[in-house]
Structure 1
Amino acid sequence: MPKTNPPSLASRASLHGGLAFEFDFPSASLEVLAGKMPALMALATTEGALIFSNGHFELLDGAGDTVESDTEAGLFPAPLRLSLTKQANPHDTVFMQALRYLDGSEHIYEIHRFKVPAVEEGRTELICTLGVCQTSPTNTSPPQFDPLTGLANRAQLYEQLRRAIDYGRVHRECVTVMMLNIDRFKNINDSLGVGAGDDVLIQISEILRNVLRDNDTVARLGSDEFILLLDKVDNPHHITKIADKILNAIGQPLNICGHEITCTASLGVSQFPIHGDSIDLLLKHADEAMARAKSEGKNRYKIYTAQMSERTVDALLMENDLRRALEQDEFILFYQPQVHLRTGKIIGLEALIRWQHKTKGVISPLDFIPLAEETGLIEEVGAWVLAHACERFHHWLKQGLSLGKVAVNLSARQFRQAHFAETVVEALNKSKLPPQYLELEITESLTMQDTDEVLQTLGYLNKLGLSIAIDDFGTGYSSLSYLKKFPVNKLKIDRTFIHDVGSELDDGAIAKSIIDLAHNMSMLVVAEGVERLGQSRWLYDQGCDQVQGYYFCKPLSENELLKLLYSEKVFRDSNGDCFIV
């Protein structure tokens, strides 16, 4: 639709209840003048109702329509809105703001906000916003700022790093580089949308500015990756204090789209000349240290060591071995019983993949599943698990063993692959396993991605007769309104919420809430990671339906499982039902 001219001051006033604003010259002349200005100009009431805006806003990416926007909030791009909230007096201030044009170019504006007093008693006081672009039209040098956050971009970072390293060589000083990555940032984008993700990036950028000193450099390289260049910081004790300060500041709750969200970050540190004598080496080693922090649980920092590079080489070798593992039949399944808490009956088995490496022995999925997801091999690996679990469970059914259902974990990438439902049907048909004996476990964040497609796929699978469970419930950003729509049969409480229940550190409010939520929505609930009698008793008292964990049984190979089922630890009735004694 073609753009129309912005409304005049007079028409704007009439749209907002006849607000009066008088000038010493005709308003039509002011409109022409404002429209021709090579700058942003907007007038609004102190409550934010928009009176006038010129066409310069139409250049900006993320700005509202100059005709249809009735408020400043509807007109201003998100970075400008957020910066205004950070000003001590947003009605009287001057600050610099990076803004992106629709053509992708980035520009720095000097924003002026000031009050325009009413010319007569009883008239309305207005707020004027002027934005003067500081980027010369003839300046063809590369942009120096990230358009979303206003931080230094890659070009400026490399220039600052070059200068710091040159200075360090001459004066024999260290240069400290930190690489910061927001943990589970993709979950925020998938659950709340890209706009919410941008708000998170903007707010975390502001946090980093406030935590660090003016002579430090904060840069955004892309997505949720930030680089911090610390000026004259070489003492390990000081590095530790700064890293802790950064992580604590980022860990404070953020208000995103009306939701209170707590973020964490992983931080990697490298230093010139100890860990490298070039920009690329310093960034590479900071990245490896950051990856180690993520692999050890996230929300922490790590300083680079040479062993981390060795681990990177090991990961490359593991990828090559992983590609051969399917061909060489090196994967095996372990099974962990799910137990009815009140009767002790085994009502399900969760199929858990292990890698029987030819030289390294049994490898945990924690060590190779992330790599399989990263390389795209998870689709083949997931299909193997599904087919093999169905085949073995049908085999046990024919032997007269009644073990409820077999549960198979699905990764988000596996679920979203084309023809996934057909893959499930093929596994059932090939194994001859009736659908009611199969349970698929999906992640909570998956329910917020492409919800119409997810709903359609889950609906189809549910009509086949199989069950759907949401795994690790409580750790994502699911919407209860979506949850109500989905054909979900079971919620699995993540182990982190029951770790301390039944002990002196008892904090079971979240676990209790999930149990009540599941029952109110006519769902079953299973608690993962039950390792102590106290946890089991607490869950029993709260009405939890099912449990799974080492207190009842660890994951077992097929031979170990059969040995258990035929042992004195399990009672089998005439129907083949199995009860843990």
Structure 2
Amino acid sequence: MLQIAENLKDATIMMVDDEPMTMIVVQTFLEEFGFNHFIQVEDSLKVMDILEEQLPDILLLDLIMPGKSGMDILAEIRNHSKMSRLPVVVLTASSDARDKLKALELGATDFLSKPVDQSELGLRIRNTLEAKAYTDQLAYYDPITKLPNSSMFQDRLVWALEKAKRYNENLALFHINLDQFSRINASIGINSSNIVLTLLAERLKEIIRSIDVLSQTSGVINGSLGPYRAEGSGFTLLLNHPKNAEASAVVATRILRKIREPINIEGNEIVVTASIGIATFPEEASNTENLHRLAISAKDYGKSKGGDSFYFSSEGINAIYEKRLKMEFRLRKAIKRNELLLHYQPKVSVQSGIIRGVEALLRWKNDTLGLVSPADFIPLAEETKLIIPIGEWVLQEACNTLVEWKKMGKKPISMAVNVSPLQMEDPDFIHTVKRILSTTRVDPGLLKLEITEGLFLSNIEEKIEQLKALKSLGVTISIDDFGTGYSSLSYLGKLPVDELKIDRSFIVDVVSNDENRAIIASIIYMAHSLQLTTVAEGIETEEQLHFIQTQQCDTYQGFFFSRPVPFADMVKLLP
């Protein structure tokens, strides 16, 4: 069997033939050699549009077709600025030697007669792709980092911009430049500097891979192009269809953090920082020249401010993220400055009206910002991973509160604490819970950890083992916002949990929405059949309460009974 190099197996092979069976046979032959990516086109009139959109690595072209002949297509390809170098292998049933000569004169790379021999086909395709890879390496790849260079980036940027215009999509162009790299170059020498550039290129590729994985699961970003090597100590990157400016900011933050990680060169630790400028299409520029200019200007502005930062070319968006950076700075100091506090919302028995527990809800009061909305600072804490130390503070404070209430002679009730998926990923989390329970001597049965369905999007068996380990400490587990996800439904019977909290989105119009009434009834029935208790969130009216009473829901919380209140007000409500 013909051996195909691994780097060639990802090549995209486009076939144009008005006989679908011929393309099926050819693809079957080539799949046996290890090729994986194919595009089949029957309509010759659509070929040029598809070529521009898909940018295949090689084209297998029939000559005799209705609509537009292979000769005409070949002539257009060779006169096209972006496709003049595209390898074109002619596959035709024509036995006329003049056709072969004309095709080669028009620029065909190779010529094969139908029916094709499988071995001959595989050999010709392999050789053509190897030749293309070699010439591309010389023309389009940086010899130091092995990244595609600025020439290839410019080609791909033009293609991406045309595609974005056609489908009404947006783009974000990143210009990334290392700070004071000339000084590093002078200090460690050009050879060591090249090693640093190569290592940073690998880090950027790692970030881009994670972005592409994120694009498949979240929809926040629809993939990326890059990284590419720019001149000097620069790199470029293009995000396809970022959902909003914040998505681009998250990527920029990850890049800065990754670049900043220390590099060891011959026993010397080097820390490199970078400045990133971001320009967006169509908001800020409608062509490649302006996109480049704006991104470079934003990058230069970042350098003038000391580097190790990213800036959008839009002043308005920059203002938003300057505010965000200031908030992050203050949030990092919030614990030490005793600016965090807990409010408590009662969880009330549906049948008796007695408070059975509370949910601890985090609040942040800053001298400058005032009382900051959790909707503003919780996502920031998640993104920066500050949620791990903040979450530990919440656990500690919640248990301290249970101790205080016991000293005051209050009846024991449960304390629910929200746990972020990031906390669950922390290898020390279970030990942290155990330590806090031990030092406060709180009855573990009073501590309820609330997790979300999102926790079970991946590695479900591993998460189940984590929950079992937590349960072994004596705490109870609740699934928050139940019904908004779907990943855990098939696993619900296996999950070591005690409670389901019905998301408030189902409660809001439950009186008038038959579908939501059915969902709530089903969740309660399913939970009770699995020996789980239920909590309805967001109860604000008597009608809502009456409905969940008829469905035998166990507990509720919401403004109908009480808003989240500070410690002193909660004490007055306790039995």
Scaled to the shorter chain, the TM-score interval is: 0.5 to 0.7
Q: Hey, what's the Cα distance between the residues in 2 that align with 1:332 and 1:486? A: 32
Find the partner of 1:110 among 25, 34, 59.
Answer: 59
Q: Hey, what's the Cα distance between the residues in 2 that align with 1:203 and 1:356? A: 33
TM-aligned CA deviation for residue 535 of structure 1: 2.1
Q: Hey, what's the Cα distance between the residues in 1 that align with 2:463 and 2:240? A: 36
Say yes or no: does 1:311 pair with 2:308: no
Whether the 8 Å CA contact 2:453–2:488 is kept in 1: the answer is: no
Q: Hey, what's the Cα distance between the residues in 1 that align with 2:374 and 2:397? A: 16
Q: Hey, what's the Cα distance between the residues in 1 that align with 2:328 and 2:472? A: 38
Query: What corresponds to 1:539 in structure 2?
Result: 548
Query: What corresponds to 1:446 in structure 2?
Result: 455
Q: Hey, what's the Cα distance between the residues in 2 that align with 1:469 and 1:432? A: 22
Number of aligned positions between the proteins: 401
Read off the aligned partner of 1:317 and give its amino acid letter: K
Find the partner of 2:283 among 257, 266, 270.
Answer: 270
Query: What corresponds to 1:350 in structure 2?
Result: 359
Whether the 8 Å CA contact 1:332–1:355 is kept in 2: the answer is: yes
Q: Hey, what's the Cα distance between the residues in 1 that align with 2:378 and 2:286? A: 35
Whether the 8 Å CA contact 1:44–1:127 is kept in 2: the answer is: no
1:388-430 per-residue CA deviation (whole Å, 9 max, x = no partner) reads 1011112212323225210111111111111211100111111
Query: What corresponds to 1:259 in structure 2?
Result: none
Whether the 8 Å CA contact 1:45–1:126 is kept in 2: the answer is: no
TM-aligned CA deviation for residue 111 of structure 1: 5.9
TM-aligned CA deviation for residue 306 of structure 1: 4.2
TM-aligned CA deviation for residue 180 of structure 1: 8.1
1:180-203 per-residue CA deviation (whole Å, 9 max, x = no partner) reads 89xxxxxxxxxxxx9996994899
Query: What corresponds to 1:178 in structure 2?
Result: 170
Whether the 8 Å CA contact 1:447–1:483 is kept in 2: the answer is: no
Query: What corresponds to 1:404 in structure 2?
Result: 413
Q: Hey, what's the Cα distance between the residues in 2 that align with 1:204 and 1:330? A: 32
What secondary structure does 1:336 align onto?
strand
Query: What corresponds to 1:155 in structure 2?
Result: 153
Whether the 8 Å CA contact 1:153–1:219 is kept in 2: the answer is: no
Whether the 8 Å CA contact 1:153–1:221 is kept in 2: the answer is: no
Q: Hey, what's the Cα distance between the residues in 1 that align with 2:516 and 2:485? A: 19
Q: Hey, what's the Cα distance between the residues in 1 that align with 2:157 and 2:212? A: 31
Say yes or no: does 1:525 pair with 2:522: no
1:423-468 per-residue CA deviation (whole Å, 9 max, x = no partner) reads 0011111111010000001121212333343222211211222101
Query: What corresponds to 2:492 in structure 1?
Result: 483
Read off the aligned partner of 2:240 and give its amino acid letter: I
Q: Hey, what's the Cα distance between the residues in 2 that align with 1:377 and 1:111? A: 54
Structure 2 gaps of 5+ residues are 63-89, 94-114, 143-149, 163-167, 174-209, 228-236, 243-279, 299-311
User: What are the within-5 Å matches in structure 2 for residues 271-350 of structure 1?
Assistant: 271-272=284-285, 279=292, 281=294, 306-350=315-359
Q: 1:541 to 1:388 in 2, by over 3 A?
A: same
What secondary structure does 1:138 align onto?
helix
TM-aligned CA deviation for residue 512 of structure 1: 3.0
Which one has a larger percent helix, Structure 1 or Structure 2? Answer: 2
Q: Hey, what's the Cα distance between the residues in 1 that align with 2:335 and 2:518? A: 43
TM-aligned CA deviation for residue 283 of structure 1: 9.9
Say yes or no: does 1:459 pair with 2:408: no
What secondary structure does 1:508 align onto?
helix
Read off the aligned partner of 1:314 and give its amino acid letter: K
Query: What corresponds to 2:569 in structure 1?
Result: 560
1:479-531 per-residue CA deviation (whole Å, 9 max, x = no partner) reads 43433222011111222222221136864333333223222322112122222
What secondary structure does 1:356 align onto?
strand
Whether the 8 Å CA contact 2:211–2:224 is kept in 1: the answer is: no
More divergent stretch after superposition (446-455 vs 315-324): 446-455
User: What are the within-5 Å matches in structure 2 for residues 24-423 of structure 1?
Assistant: 56-57=33-34, 77=36, 80=37, 108-110=57-59, 133=129, 135-139=132-136, 140-142=138-140, 155-156=153-154, 159-160=157-158, 178-179=170-171, 200=216, 220=225, 226-227=239-240, 270-272=283-285, 279=292, 281=294, 306-402=315-411, 404-423=413-432
What secondary structure does 2:479 align onto?
strand
Q: Hey, what's the Cα distance between the residues in 2 that align with 1:494 and 1:421? A: 27
What secondary structure does 1:436 align onto?
helix
Q: Hey, what's the Cα distance between the residues in 2 that align with 1:481 and 1:436? A: 27
Whether the 8 Å CA contact 1:338–1:347 is kept in 2: the answer is: yes
Whether the 8 Å CA contact 1:161–1:279 is kept in 2: the answer is: no
Read off the aligned partner of 2:373 and give its amino acid letter: S
Whether the 8 Å CA contact 1:406–1:439 is kept in 2: the answer is: yes
What secondary structure does 1:392 align onto?
helix
TM-aligned CA deviation for residue 373 of structure 1: 1.7
Whether the 8 Å CA contact 2:212–2:224 is kept in 1: the answer is: no
Q: 1:55 to 1:284 in 2, by over 3 A?
A: farther
TM-aligned CA deviation for residue 45 of structure 1: 12
TM-aligned CA deviation for residue 161 of structure 1: 9.8
Whether the 8 Å CA contact 1:335–1:349 is kept in 2: the answer is: yes
* Percent of aligned pairs sharing the same letter: 31
Whether the 8 Å CA contact 1:96–1:109 is kept in 2: the answer is: no
Structure 1 gaps of 5+ residues are 1-5, 7-30, 58-75, 100-105, 118-124, 145-151, 165-175, 182-193, 209-217, 230-266, 286-302, 566-577
1:49-102 per-residue CA deviation (whole Å, 9 max, x = no partner) reads x97556641xxxxxxxxxxxxxxxxxx64xx37x66xx789xx99965999xxx
